[in-house]
Amino acid sequence: MTRSHDRGSMAAAGTAAEIDQPRFWNVPNSMTVARLVLAGIVFAFMGLDQYAIALAAFIVAALSDALDGHFARLLKQGTPIGRQLDPLVDKVIVSGCYIYLASISEKTGVYPWMVTAIVVRELLIQGLRSLLEGQGKAFGARLAGKLKTTVQCFSISAALLGLSLTSPPGWLLWVRDISTWLAVALTIYSGAIYFVNAMPALRSQATRD
């Protein structure tokens, strides 16, 4: 009887643990994975010079980025892996688009040094996020980071729109260039803000090591 009771208790505990374990395939994580698929579609059509289709796919991806965080809060489905995966996918699609746009800088106004600044910043911040999240410390997006992502998406959209038009109007080129330079400035600024705010945690980690 005691053994049966113990086995029943262990089974119940295992079932409770499975219930408490957050599922990966929830609504926000599914949207994030779908955005990664959209990134591949964007890159493919950019490579085929089908910029209008690439622009449409990119806009859908950007909108899904705005919605998955909302659903995570609304449905209370935030997970540690989701907090890592969501910004990582954002960095993949943004960095990939900028790398391609820099390869035709004479048509896009995006230069290699700009892309270098953006990619290096994104890699450093993602590494910092992984380190702190692994220690159980929150490392969510701040206002400067969210604004940076918004301006980056606007800059890429303006560049793709310009490429999709045979003769883009002058005002569009001005908007494209201004938003691109602003995106680079915000990328550097927000990265510095993240590092400044993470310094106490990094000092604490260095002291323990």
Residue ranges of domains in the chain, CATH in brackets: 23-208 (1.20.120.1760)
Q: How far apart are the first and last CA of the chain?
A: 50
Mean pLDDT by 10 residues, the chain (209 residues): 51 45 70 89 96 96 78 62 76 94 95 95 82 64 81 96 95 97 94 80 63
Q: In this predicted structure, what is the pLDDT of residue 18?
A: 43
Q: In this predicted structure, what is the pLDDT of residue 10?
A: 46
CB neighbours (10 Å) of residue 188?
15
- DSSP secondary structure string for all residues of 69-101: HHHHHHTT---HHHHHHHHHHHHHHHHHHHHHH
Nearest C-alpha neighbor of 183 from the set 91, 96, 107, 114: 114
Q: In this predicted structure, what is the pLDDT of residue 11?
A: 46
Helices 80-103 and 143-164: crossing angle in degrees, nearest 10, is 40
Q: In this predicted structure, what is the pLDDT of residue 206?
A: 56
